[in-house]
Amino acid sequence: MHQIALAATSQNRHECADFISFMKEVMSTELCSKFEICTRSQSDSSEWHELRYGRITASILYETSRCKTTGSLTERILGASQPLQTEAIKRGKMLEAEVLKVVAATKKIKINKAGLFLNPAYPIFGASPDGITDNYVIEIKCPFKEKTVENYISVQLQMLFINKKKGLFCVASPSFEQNKQVTITEVELNREELEDVMDIAAEFWKSH
């Protein structure tokens, strides 16, 4: 995003709408595919962090669509603040590989690593699923407490960007370390609902 912004500035394309049009012009499908491959180690990849800069990622799409104020969310989008490292996020990172094994065994599927997916048609967004298969995108959640996680918008964006019609929203039990239980919900792409949320989030991005 830094380099695109500099290139746009050199061509006097400062207005928001013009800048977005410029991004669409320079972000080829082939280039986006290369980015996905080189970011498959996700948070351990410097490219992953760099390419997320300035973009609304799947993990904060819903939050962005509901946000009415500037501050911490804007800083997270711009990379001005450190990535969130809550205990739940740390736990999720620690358990992710093991949870994926349980999901693969339960669904009898092979799960592959995934990097950051970008889409030239939606240049201000990005999506990094926890895994992909021939038919699904995979999203893993590892909450500490029993609660229903009903926000499937992140999976919806992942499906759109990876051209899948289905996703698996997988919530590990708070006692996963002992019981190895994972609740797996199959989610289907609802493009109309997703694009409504994306439109609202995009307005936040444009105004901040």
pLDDT of residue 90: 81
Cα separation of the two ends of the chain: 16
Indicate the helix (H) or strand (E) that contains 191: helix 191-207
pLDDT of residue 19: 86
Q: What is the pTM of this model?
A: 0.88
Between 52-61, 129-138, 143-152, the lowest mean confidence (pLDDT) is in 143-152
Residue 152's nearest CA partner among 170, 131, 175, 172 is 170
pLDDT of residue 80: 46
pLDDT of residue 77: 74
**Would you tell me the crossing angle of helices 58-66 and 153-162 to the nearest 10 degrees?**
130
CB 139 within 8 A of CB 169: yes
Q: Is the pLDDT of residue 179 over 60?
A: yes
pLDDT of residue 81: 47
Q: Is the pLDDT of residue 88 over 50?
A: yes
pLDDT grade for 208, boundaries at 50, 70 and 90: confident
Q: How many residues does the chain have?
A: 208
